[in-house]
Amino acid sequence: MEHKHQAESFEEQEMRLWKRRLWGAWVFAVPIAILMILERFFEIMPFGERTSLIILIIGFPVIFFFGWQTIKAGIRGFISFYFSMDSLIALGTLIAYATGILAFFINVQDYSGVSAMIMAIFIAGKYIETKARGKASQEIKKLLELGAKKARVLRGKEEIEIPISEVKIDDVIVIRPGEKIPTDGIVIKGQSAIDESMITGESMPVEKKIKDTVIGATINQDGILYVKATKIGSDTFLAHIINLVEEAQGTKVPIQKVADKVTNIFVPAILVLTVLTFVGWVIFSGDWSKALGAAISVLVIACPCALGLAVPIALTVGSGMGAKRGILIRKGEAIQTMKEVKIIAFDKTGTITKGKPEVTDFVSKVKEDYFWEVSGSLEHMSEHPIAKAIVAKAALKSYKKFTGFSVVRGRGLEGKLGNKKIVIGNRTLMNEKNISFKLIERQIKSWEEEGKTTMIVAENAKVIGAVAVADAVKDDSVKAISALRKRGYRTVMITGDNETTAKAIAKQVGIDEVIANVLPEEKAKKVEELQKRGMVAFVGDGINDAPALKQSNVSIAMGSGSDIAIEVGDIVLVKGSLIGVVQAINLSKATFKKIKQNLFWAFGYNVIAIPLAVAGLLNPIVAELAMALSSISVVMNANLLRRARI
């Protein structure tokens, strides 16, 4: 709960603060505006000679109370020689305000009312800016709010409801249909379907049974589940996602560093230009008032607020959009690097494939039901992954009782069903038992050429069928890889698996190049070799992929993979589906395009407006209004990113 409060507080506090300043500043600025309009356009001075003094007094709180934060930050820039946008606004408003005092002693145009208006408009711009950032950070808040607030925990035989913060590891939590799962855990009793769409974006519920893991904040559908808590608090999957999104929104894109450098040179350059404008006007026109007006306009118009907003606001919107789609951008620079990538390299197991064996083909010389009854019942007695794949395919309600069961290591299984002797195993086992499988030899050969593991089933020394088992390709791998190739990327598979299997999988999904038999420690070296041909994005999910992920220019980790892979990933795909790679590339390109557009608007606007201010063609208020509008246009442009098709 504490985390929620903290995450809320900073964004909300800042928004509240600027909102208060906004209201406060305009309460005083509106009367000033009325007095100025009456004087300027109607030559009415309700308070006669004292109007100037009243404006000076009303303007004081706008600048020195509601605008004090800006003034303070601006002055700090002059002391530390690290100038910011606030430096220009502080200088502009202070000089403009000072003219109101000077007007009592010398003949100079009184800009004190203008200075209060400048500050009020600046505060309004700041409020819109924090609101936009706050809105983009709402995505994080929405994630936070997804978590359950309470949990029903078993204490002895009793069920008690406690706040989520009091749940301990190994607590058994009871989740009824329609309830949120309070924290990450493992099912120890019951079965149900779970809506995991908030994590994966997949609308189809996922079936869960005993020993399956569940993620906090996902929603239980139709059965009662008893879940043992395995992770709590900041260790949970949801907490990790929130951290990743927060990290991404705080990182800098290389182009942002350029913008920061420009700002740091730009501000002193503007200060010099302001002095030159003032001196120039005094020398060539002798009009001190006009000189001051032009100098203040230059200071105000040049305030590079839009420039400071351009990159962070686009990055914040982009990373928020990604989070909704299960694409977590951990490092901002990945967005910029992504557009240079030419080669996309993939790990095989768990990335392109599901990472666990499945029955892909079978042939049966007897009734299909009987074939699966025999195979499933015998394999049910083994713990081997291939056995589990056959049991899953057989999907029997009950198993036949075998006697004399034995495992022939590395070759297969045998057992007796009544008076029938059943043997399931590879070629070697069949040859050892002198069982001929000539009938299905061609079928087996073609499976083996595809890199599949074949198990032959025999009853009383006579072959009754065979099963091909392989690590099946994920449902959308073919679609994703074809989309990447269409976009002109070269696709490469780097795997520790043997050449035959690797090539078979590559052919199935349409990968351009295969690098097989690679030891885990060599993966990074292979990525380095590929980098000689162009920038490389590497997609992986396991501990063995971490060095290759680190070596690549952009690392994309599967969220379904190991923690270490996720830690190293610049981009994390929560769903563990390769379509996410295509979406991540689209999102990166769309976000970077917005960053460039924003910088163009911010710079372009200054390039046009500054000469007008130098020429004395911009009233300081008009200058400030234009500056506020430039910031708003950058915010609106960044929000247009939400319409991009990812």
Cα angle 610, 114, 292; round to 5? 55
C-alpha dihedral sign at 570, 572, 573, 578 = positive
3-state DSSP assignment of residue 507 = helix
347 annotated active-site: yes
Both tokens of residue 457? 């089933």
| Helix axes of 254-285 and 288-301: crossing angle, nearest 10 degrees | 170
Pairing of strands 192-195, 490-494: unpaired
Report the amino acid identity of residue 7.
A
Decide: 264 and 83 in contact? Cβ < 8 Å.
yes
Cα angle 62, 64, 65; round to 5? 70
- Long-range (24+ apart) CB contacts under 8 A made by 387-396 are 387/413, 388/357, 389/356, 389/357, 389/358, 389/359, 389/469, 390/359, 390/424, 390/455, 390/467, 390/469, 392/358, 392/359, 393/358, 393/359, 393/362, 393/467, 396/372
Looking at the DSSP bridge assignments, the partners of residue 310 are none
Decide: 556 and 570 in contact? Cβ < 8 Å.
yes
For 358-379, the three-class secondary structure string (H helix, E strand, C coil) is EEEEEEECCCHHHHHHHHHHHH
For 315-353, the three-class secondary structure string (H helix, E strand, C coil) is HHHHHHHHHHCCEEECCCHHHHHHCCEEEEEECCCCCCE
Which one of the listed residues 184, 195, 347, 541 is annotated catalytic? Answer: 347
Radius of gyration of the chain (CA): 34
Nearest to 458 by CA among 418, 482, 430: 430
Decide: 183 and 236 in contact? Cβ < 8 Å.
yes
- For 192, 262, 307, the CA distances from 602, given in Å and listed in that order, are 54, 12, 5
CB atoms within 10 A of CB 20: 13
Rounded to whole angstroms, the Cα distance separating 610 from 403 reads 92
Q: What one-character DSSP code corresponds to residue 62?
A: I
CB atoms within 10 A of CB 66: 24
Both tokens of residue 173? 């939590």
Nearest to 501 by CA among 444, 452, 541, 454: 452
Phi and psi, residue 162, nearest 5°: -135, 155
Q: Output the DSSP codes for 541-580.
A: -SGGGHHHHHHSSEEEEETTS-HHHHHH-SEEETT--THH
Decide: 375 and 354 in contact? Cβ < 8 Å.
no
Decide: 539 and 558 in contact? Cβ < 8 Å.
yes
Catalytic (active-site) positions: 347
